[in-house]
Structures are given as C-alpha cells and as structure tokens.
A = this chain, B = another copy of it.
Amino acid sequence: MLPVPDEALSTRKLEILAEARKLFSRKGYEAASMRDLAEALGIKPASLYSHYDSKEEILWEIAQRCAHEFHEAVLPAAAGSEPPAERLDRMIRAHIEVVIRNQDASVIFFREWRHLHEPHRSEYAASIAAYEQAFESVLREGMGAGIFRPAPLRLNTHMLLSSLNWVHRWYRPDGAMQVPEIQDHLSKLLLNGLRIP
C-alpha cells in the first residue's frame, strides 16, 4: 500500500516532524505557516528548506508514518485465526493505543490528509479505505457466524470507527482515564452493542 517510512531520519528532521504534528493538528494544515513552524523550532523559515523541499512534503511524511503505525498495529490482529469477536477486541485495543500514542498525528490520519495533492491524496485515501475494510471484514465474518447482530454492515463499521477515531478529540494525558482503562471500557461498550447476548 503505502511505502514504509523506514529510512532513519536525522534528529533534526524528527524534531521538525514533531513540531509540525503539533501545529498542523492544533491550527490545521492551512492555518499553520512555515514561519510558525520555524519559530517553534527557533530557526528562520528558509532554514526549513535545508531539510524538506516543501510544506506538503512534511505533511506527506507525517501522514505516511502515521498510517504505517495504524496498519502495523491493527492489521495483524485482523488477520488472526481467533473468533471474530476476539480479533475485533484486539483491533480496537490496538487502534486506541495508536491514537493515543500519536495524538497529534492522528488528526492528520483522520482529516488533514485531505490537503495533500494528487497523486498522494488518492493514494492515501485508498490506504485508509483498506484499513477500514479490515474492520468491516471482521464485522461481516462475525455477522455471518451469528455472533453479531444482523445490521447494515457499513453502518456498523462507521459507528465502530467513529467511536475509535473521536478518542483523539477528548483524550487528555493528564485526565482521569488512562490507556488500559479506556481500552477495556470502550471495547466492552462497542462489543456489547454488536454482539448477540
């Protein structure tokens, strides 16, 4: 699907990405300027171009690496051989963990990638569609096996993913609930809704 961003990046590039993730997610990609980014890093705007050729290349790098995180954590769980409900449980937990570990980048995965231009935009859309298909397949299988309630498949998929994706909007590292607790409760809540008692 997407090229794997495995090449080691210079520490400076990583610092730029980290700051860009913060800015792009807090202000939005369009509203965040290269001058904002440079200032956050304590350098002049033109210096950014010693590392990246364009603003969009930074967005693209963030988007790729974040998608890679999601795919790598969740897809193996989808491909397992356990019963659908168990696999879905593992997928939910993995997805939540990635969202929280990449809280800023997740905004790019969920929304800001739309500011990419072709052909990256279409490529990225396809990779997200494939990711969602993994959830839909498990749901379909569970419904076929009579474990999940019969219902419109797409709707269940959307409900499931929306609950998971919204986590980045309300999770606070200093909040009351931490990762394992969120995983437990959200997985239970969602599976309760899907499963036949």
For residue A38, CB closer than 8 A to chain B, the reply is no
Interface size on A, residues (CB 8 A): 35
Q: Do residues B30 and A159 form an inter-chain contact, with CB atoms below 8 A?
A: no
The answer, among B115, B152, B167, B192, for a CB contact under 8 Å with A193, is B192
The answer, among B151, B154, B163, B192, for a CB contact under 8 Å with A162, is B163
For residue A58, CB closer than 8 A to chain B, the reply is no
Q: Which residue of B lies closest to A195 (CB)?
A: B192
Known: A30-B31, A158-B170, A162-B165. A192 touches B189 (CB 8 A): no
List which A158-178 residues lie within 8 A (CB) of chain B: 158-159, 161-163, 165-167, 169-170, 176-177
Q: Which residue of B lies closest to A151 (CB)?
A: B185
Bound Cα distance from A181 to B152, whole angstroms: 10
For residue A116, CB closer than 8 A to chain B, the reply is no
Contact partners of A197 in chain B: CB under 8 A? 197
Contact partners of A156 in chain B: CB under 8 A? 189
Q: Do residues B193 and A189 form an inter-chain contact, with CB atoms below 8 A?
A: yes
Q: Which residue of B lies closest to A197 (CB)?
A: B197
Contact partners of A159 in chain B: CB under 8 A? 163, 166, 186, 189-190
List which A54-88 residues lie within 8 A (CB) of chain B: none
The answer, among B152, B181, B185, B194, for a CB contact under 8 Å with A177, is B152
Known: A192-B149, A193-B192. A166 touches B158 (CB 8 A): yes
List which A115-173 residues lie within 8 A (CB) of chain B: 115, 149, 151-152, 154-156, 158-159, 161-163, 165-167, 169-170
Contact partners of A165 in chain B: CB under 8 A? 162, 166
Distance in angstroms from A131 CB to nearest chain B CB is 14
Contact partners of A188 in chain B: CB under 8 A? 151
Closest 8 CB pairs of A and B: A193-B193, A162-B166, A30-B30, A30-B31, A159-B163, A192-B193, A197-B197, A158-B170
